[in-house]
Amino acid sequence: MFFINDQYYSKNDLIKQFEHFDQMNVLHDCSKKRIAVCTKNAFEGLALCLYMKEKGGSVVPIHASTPRDAAIRIAHKSSSHILMYDTFQAPILMINDREEKQGVLVQMSSGTTGEPKCLERPWEDIEEEIKNYNESLPVDIGTVPIIACPISHSYGFISGVLTALERDIAPIILSNLNPKYVLKKLVETPNHILYASPAFLHTLTKLSPQDFSFKYVMTSGMLMSAVCLDDLKRRSNRVLQQYGCSEAGCIAINPDVQSPSEMGFPLGHFKVIAGKGKDHPQEVILQGSSKSIHTNDIGYFSEVGSLCLLGRMDDMINVAGLNVYPQEVEEIILKEPNIEEVIAYKKPDAFAGERVCVQFVASSFVEESQLRDWCVRQMAPHQVPVEFTQVEKIPTLPNGKISRKLVGEMMG
């Protein structure tokens, strides 16, 4: 079935755990219930999610590090009947007398552009995603997924775990994310595909021995910088990237990433609408059999049919009627040898409407005039930031994602 760190769990282990769940009074008639689960016991947490899926019930996976009060708030906001927190010996009953009409996976949006929202996906839709994902995933038969990202999120749970189980491959789920341990598991499993965030992949690349190379690497969640991608490609057999959203799951896979903006080719369960060419970008819209989803991402299709992203609509900066995409500004600044991290964001301006500002992390002190000259030489005038702020660390959301809106609000 699957590994959690070094421990293997067989199908019989899962059956025994299911039998234990069958004996729990709070899980009786669970097809009509919504269960939130937050536990550091990765096996019990995953087993409960698989149990609810099999029984046709609804489940709300919550990240294992979430404090009790915060988990209760999420369970309440998601209209859960029960919260299984930490050990499953003392379930927390929530106030909810509404029966579930169909089984769904409930997940919270990232909160990048505002308050996180509860998003529901029927298990039938997820099965369709799994089918299309496996048909499009360009890896060798027998390639083992190593999942170094939370399985409380669809990237780890659906793309990592469920698709592997459908392929009859035992995934390795890592709750121990010590980089040295992760690298050890990768060495032990040479035919691997590693699921991780861009930031963690960057860390592994920097810490890995010179003679180490990744087999396949999957990235998702945030656009990787061109500098980080180049480093990763030099150390990998192949770098893949997938694109999606919590409402729809994965909707595109790039089988061989050449540029961070290339999300790849759409899967079959959604029709993807985007701009025709880089000069005519528009919002990426997903059309399914029963609904349309506005992603709030700006993108276009390349000449070969690959979906490319320019960023979030909310993040686009309008300087006197000219559009500035923060990612383009960041890519240029990251090429300055002293710069390690950068985030571009917008501020209101009385004359131009909005202006570009940046925060950056550098290996040593960088004069503002030095960085401004670097930008002036390589950017159009409307792209050049008006403010440069050197910081020790760029703030992130609790899920590790950057939020230009958050940085802009903090900087006034």
First-last CA distance in the chain = 51
Q: What is the pLDDT of residue 372?
A: 95
Q: What is the pLDDT of residue 406?
A: 82
Q: What is the pLDDT of residue 291?
A: 85
Q: What is the pLDDT of residue 397?
A: 75
DSSP letters for 305-356: S-EEEEEEGGG-EEETTEEE-HHHHHHHHHTSTTEEEEEEEEEEETTTEEEE
Q: What is the pLDDT of residue 110?
A: 63
User: Contact at 8 Å (CB) between 284 and 308?
Assistant: no
Topology of 2-108 in CATH? Rossmann fold (3.40.50)
DSSP letters for 343-373: EEEEEEETTTEEEEEEEEEESS---HHHHHH
- Calculate helix-pair angle for 198-207, 179-188, nearest 10 degrees: 80
User: Contact at 8 Å (CB) between 194 and 146?
Assistant: yes
CATH number of 316-410: 3.30.300.30
Residue 174's identity, in one-letter code, is: L
Q: What is the pLDDT of residue 114?
A: 54
Q: Domain boundaries in the chain?
A: 2-108, 125-314, 316-410
**3-state SS class at 329:** helix
Distance separating alpha carbons of residues 197 and 128, to the nearest angstrom:
24
Tens place of pLDDT per residue across the chain (412 aa): 999 999 999 999 999 999 999 999 999 999 999 999 999 999 999 999 999 999 999 999 999 999 999 999 999 999 999 999 998 888 999 988 888 899 999 998 765 555 678 899 999 999 999 999 999 999 988 999 999 999 999 999 999 999 999 999 999 999 999 999 999 999 999 999 999 999 899 999 999 999 999 999 999 987 888 888 999 999 999 999 999 988 899 999 999 999 999 999 999 899 999 999 988 999 999 998 878 999 999 999 999 999 999 888 888 999 998 999 998 999 999 999 999 999 999 999 888 899 999 999 999 999 999 999 999 999 999 999 999 999 999 887 766 677 888 888 887 6
User: Contact at 8 Å (CB) between 307 and 291?
Assistant: no
Judge whether 2-108 and 125-314 match in fold. yes
Topology of 125-314 in CATH? Rossmann fold (3.40.50)
